[in-house]
């Protein structure tokens, strides 16, 4: 059965790989992006996946955006909360703006987007939500108190929402990627990245397609007995 899937942060990195994987399964996929319109146009031209623009950190924008998607395509069955940003810095140097931006985008968006689709999922007795956390939300990371707090919050959010949705046929799970070969990781200085790779037992960065494969599995119609789980995909760097 073809499902309608929405992927936030869906035109780059893990989000793009996930959108493509879900489309290849036969889903009708929407990739939500926030600011890089040129990249979104290229992504849509290359993949045929529709891209919609709105700010996932804004509650009203999410309600309006989902309403637009559902008017165009139909009810949303699957939601991938993948959007995320970094604003790194140690606490004694971090300003409130950089703290709040990361909390609102990385964690607040999970509430905003889930709130926009959960009512319809409950009515139809089916839904799949996957929230993308991080190894740094499990283990912490120097200079990333905002990012680690937001990603850690995602794991608690997932477990609580899973309990709320279970009786209505809605599963809610999380993925906790390690260091993946994306634009975000590419921005890390080489000397730092080399040290990170040294700590990964498999000896390499992960691939976005490896995360997408797991998300595709968790959102399958046959994955209804898996809920409230966090799947760590980090090459053995953090066993949790």
Catalytic residues: 147
Query: How do 127-132 and 78-81 pair as beta strands?
Result: parallel
Q: What is the 3-state secondary structure (H, E, C) of 107-123?
A: HHHHHHHHHHHHHHHHH
Residue 128 neighbours by CB under 8 Å, 6+ apart? 3, 77, 78, 79, 170, 171, 218, 219, 220, 223
Taking the C-alpha atoms of residue 132 and residue 211, their distance in angstroms, rounded to an integer, is 9
Nearest to 34 by CA among 63, 65, 5: 65
Q: Tell me the Ramachandran region of residue 9: left when phi exceeds 0, alpha when psi lies from -120 to 50, beta otherwise.
A: left
Q: How far is CA 62 from CA 3, 65, 68, 109, 200, in A?
A: 20, 5, 10, 8, 37
Give yes or no for a contact between 13 and 180, defined as CB atoms under 8 angstroms apart: yes
């Amino acid at each position: 059965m073809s499902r309608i899937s929405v992927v936030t942060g869906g035109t780059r990195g893990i989000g793009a790989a996930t959108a493509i994987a879900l489309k290849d399964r036969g889903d009708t996929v929407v990739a939500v992006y926030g600011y890089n319109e040129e990249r979104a146009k290229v992504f849509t031209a290359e993949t045929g996946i529709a891209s919609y623009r709105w700010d996932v950190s804004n509650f009203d924008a999410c309600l309006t955006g989902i309403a637009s998607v559902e008017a165009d395509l139909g009810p949303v069955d699957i939601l991938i909360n993948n959007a995320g940003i970094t604003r790194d810095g140690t606490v004694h140097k971090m300003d409130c703006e950089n703290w709040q931006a990361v909390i609102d985008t990385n964690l607040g968006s999970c509430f905003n987007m889930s709130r926009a689709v959960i009512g319809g999922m409950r009515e139809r007795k089916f839904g799949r939500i996957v929230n993308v956390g991080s190894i740094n939300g499990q283990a912490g990371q120097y200079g990333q108190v905002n990012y680690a707090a937001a990603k850690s919050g995602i794991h608690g959010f997932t477990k609580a929402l899973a309990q709320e949705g279970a009786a209505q046929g809605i599963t809610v799970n999380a993925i906790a990627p390690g260091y993946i070969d994306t634009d975000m990781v590419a921005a890390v200085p080489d000397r730092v990245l080399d040290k990170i790779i040294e700590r990964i037992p498999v000896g390499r960065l992960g691939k976005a397609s490896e995360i997408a494969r797991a998300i595709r599995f968790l959102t399958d119609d046959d994955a209804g007995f898996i809920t409230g789980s966090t799947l760590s995909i980090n090459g053995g760097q953090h066993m949790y």
